[in-house]
């Protein structure tokens, strides 16, 4: 695929305004969705790894549910929720419009990819002995201080690996993004959407240029993931 078009055609395609817009939008939205995934997944994974509580199995199932849903189905559900439900209409009236906007891209990426972050972080926390936290507490740390000063620094590899793989999957998400945010050129055009639109129009050089970027991101992400996670059980 990468060698199909000459380098000059690939470089010309990469310099086009449309593909540069898609690159910038993909980077912004994937970074935002990764930060949201971190904010939700870290406390959720820590609770699942450290505590037994009523409804734990149900909570774990709900968190994993997006993994079992086809992205298109997840996108339709998000579209119905933000488009026609009462909470969705209330959010739109408050100025938070998610349907056919870049905000919808962030929400779709977050919904589909958050379970991956939860799984990585849960495996990371399970691999860290709780004894370290107990020792920190005997030295005067509170529960929050033990988590912040002891556990999270020891979970650095998992945080980095989970963030990179979630960011990569966010950039590559297409089905749910297409359903919720649409495929409008120069508005909701992420890299996968640009690939789809250019292939639909027969612009093969532009499509291959986008595919090359996505391939490079995938290789980089998998390399970092393997280096950082190693033998964690996901």
Q: Which 3-state string (H, E, C) describes 116-171?
A: HHHHHHHHHHHCCCCHHHHHHHHCCCCHHHHHHHHHHHHCHHHHHHHHHHHHHHHH
Q: Nearest-CA neighbor of 110 among 39, 58, 211, 188?
A: 39
Note whether residue 166 is domain-resident. yes
Q: Nearest-CA neighbor of 183 among 165, 196, 170?
A: 196
Q: Nearest-CA neighbor of 104 among 123, 86, 81?
A: 81
Cβ-based neighbours of 211, under 8 Å, separated by 6 or more: 1, 2, 195
Note whether residue 83 is domain-resident. yes
pLDDT on residue 217: 87
Name the one residue in this structure whose structure tokens are 């979630």: 166
Q: How far is CA 194 from the centre of its chain?
A: 19
Cα–Cα distance for residue pair 160/165, rounded to 1 Å: 9
pLDDT on residue 228: 66
Note whether residue 93 is domain-resident. yes
C-beta pairs of 124-127 under 8 Å, 24+ apart in sequence: 124/45, 124/155, 124/157, 124/158, 124/159, 124/162, 124/232, 125/45, 125/46, 125/49, 125/50, 125/151, 125/155, 125/158, 126/49, 127/232
Quote the tokens at residue 204: 């093969």
First to last CA, the chain: 31
Question: Domain total for the chain?
Answer: 1
Note whether residue 1 is domain-resident. no
Note whether residue 212 is domain-resident. yes
Tell me the residue range of the domain where 150 lies: 7-229
Note whether residue 117 is domain-resident. yes
The answer to whether 166 and 37 have CB atoms below 8 angstroms apart is: yes
Note whether residue 207 is domain-resident. yes
Note whether residue 2 is domain-resident. no
Per-residue pLDDT of the chain (234 residues; tens, 9 = 90+): 666 667 777 777 778 899 999 999 999 999 999 999 999 999 999 999 988 888 888 988 888 888 888 999 999 999 999 998 999 899 999 989 999 999 999 999 999 999 999 999 999 999 898 899 889 888 888 888 888 888 999 999 889 988 988 999 999 999 999 999 999 999 999 999 999 999 998 888 888 888 888 888 888 888 877 776 655 555
| Structure-derived torsion over alpha carbons of residues 53, 158, 160, 73, reported in degrees to the nearest 10 | -50
Cα–Cα distance for residue pair 167/156, rounded to 1 Å: 16
pLDDT on residue 68: 87
pTM exceeding the 0.85 threshold for the entire prediction: yes
Q: Which CATH number characterizes residue 91's domain?
A: 1.10.3720.10
Q: Can you spell out the DSSP letters for 109-124?
A: HHHHHHHHHHHHHHHH
């Amino acid at each position: 695929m990468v060698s199909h078009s000459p380098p000059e055609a690939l470089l010309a395609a990469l310099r086009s305004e449309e593909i540069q817009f898609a690159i910038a939008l993909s980077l912004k939205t994937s970074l935002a969705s990764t930060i949201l995934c971190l904010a939700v997944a870290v406390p959720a994974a820590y609770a699942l790894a450290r505590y037994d509580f009523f409804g734990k199995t149900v909570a774990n199932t709900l968190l994993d549910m997006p993994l079992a849903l086809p992205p298109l189905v997840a996108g339709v559900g998000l579209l119905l929720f933000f488009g026609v439900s009462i909470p969705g209409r209330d959010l739109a009236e408050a100025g938070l419009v998610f349907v056919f906007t870049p905000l919808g891209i962030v929400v779709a990426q977050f919904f589909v990819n958050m379970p991956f972050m939860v799984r990585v972080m849960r495996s990371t926390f399970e691999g860290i002995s709780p004894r370290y936290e107990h020792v920190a507490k005997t030295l005067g740390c509170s529960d929050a201080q033990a988590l912040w000063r002891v556990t999270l620094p020891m979970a650095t590899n998992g945080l980095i690996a989970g963030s990179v793989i979630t960011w990569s999957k966010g950039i590559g998400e297409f089905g749910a993004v297409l359903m919720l945010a649409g495929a409008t050129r120069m508005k909701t055009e992420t890299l996968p959407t640009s690939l789809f639109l250019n292939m639909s129009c027969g612009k093969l050089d532009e499509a291959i240029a986008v595919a090359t970027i996505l391939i490079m991101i995938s290789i980089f992400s998998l390399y970092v993931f393997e280096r950082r996670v190693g033998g964690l059980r996901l």
